[in-house]
A = this chain, B = another copy of it.
Amino acid sequence: MSKPLIHNLTIIGVGLIGGSLARALRQAEAVGTITGAGRNREHLEIAQKLGVIDRVETDLAAACRDADMVVLAVPLGAMQAVLEQIAPVIGDNTIITDVGSAKASVITSAEKAFGRIPPNLIPGHPIAGTEKSGVEASFAELFEQRRVILTPTETSTDPAKQLVSNMWQACGAQVLEMSVAHHDAVLAATSHLPHMLAYALVDSLARQDDSQEIFDYAAGGFRDFTRIASSDPQMWHDICIANRESLVTALERFIADLQDITRAIQQADSDFIKQTFQRAKQARDAFCDK
């Protein structure tokens, strides 16, 4: 057997993303030993029984001591605490990456934990997932043909970048680089904002007196539109807090646009309404698969 890409891999947080990464790297024969780390031993033992990880470790520092690569696959809200626990044992030869949906906050947390932005940290974000969560839902093909955005910092080293990039490519993903600020703004617009709208709409309707009836009459379009409101509330809370600044900017811009449309409808401004809808349809048809 040839030398694997990563000899000792530690994944902190073995859920849908962490578990799928482990499975994909194993399938690609790109990894030696996989240590699964986290607070919940029982949960990790399930992952071990499923063959997703080789070793279970609830002491995060111990889990990272001999690692060549540490992947932080914990919720964004746990990132700061995890980084603080592992910082003392992470040497220059251990590469760190994460899978969080917001990137500036991870870098800020790392800077606090390490006293500087570690040059061996390559923040990452695989644009992949399902509505399910947990290691039981993980599968090796989750990242195939999906995009992974890396947001290296000014001090990030090339070998670190290369290894993280190779890791995701071994999972079948397409790896791209982006600045931290740009990543956070783009994701706020295309992912975090739509989730806010879906959550707000369903909650708004649910709080009305006749909510049962309202949902009864919702048609197919409503189901599609609100599917993302079934996403994990705690995870999305963490994303909101972590990407607060970009998300508030996106929300404020959207509210202003919505106020313009409301005014146009109120004034029966047909030109404005039709132009808006036509531009949107054109963009939707051109940019997205149907």
Q: Report yes or no: A214 in contact with B186, Cβ–Cβ below 8 A.
A: yes
Chain A 227-264 residues near chain B, CB threshold 8 A: 227-234, 236-237, 240-241, 244, 247-248, 251-255, 257-259, 261-262
Given known contacts A255-B258, A265-B251, A280-B199, A240 and B205 CB-to-CB distance under 8 angstroms: no
Interface of A is mostly: helix
Q: Is the CB of B215 within 8 A of A287?
A: yes
Q: Within 8 Å of chain B (Cβ to Cβ): is A270?
A: yes
Instruction: Contacts A203-B276, A203-B280 given; indicate if A186 touches B255 (C-beta within 8 A).
Output: no
Q: Of all chain B residues, which has the CB nearest A195?
A: B221
| This protein's copies in its complex | 2
Chain B residues, CB < 8 A from A274: 233-234, 237
Taking a contact as CB atoms under 8 Å apart, the answer to whether B219 and A241 are in contact is no
Instruction: Tell whether A190 is near chain B: CB-to-CB under 8 Å.
Output: yes
Closest residue of B by beta carbon distance from A127: B219
Q: Does A191 contact B (CB under 8 A)?
A: yes
Q: Which residues of B contact A210 (CB under 8 A)?
A: 186
- The answer to whether the Cβ of A222 comes within 8 Å of any Cβ in the partner chain is yes
Add 5 more A-B contacts to A200-B257, A236-B277, A251-B261 (CB < 8 A). Answer: A202-B283, A206-B279, A233-B274, A247-B265, A255-B255
Q: Please name the 9 residue pairs, one residue from A and one from B, whose CB atoms are nearest each other, closest first.
A: A233-B277, A215-B287, A206-B283, A202-B280, A203-B280, A190-B218, A199-B280, A229-B284, A251-B262
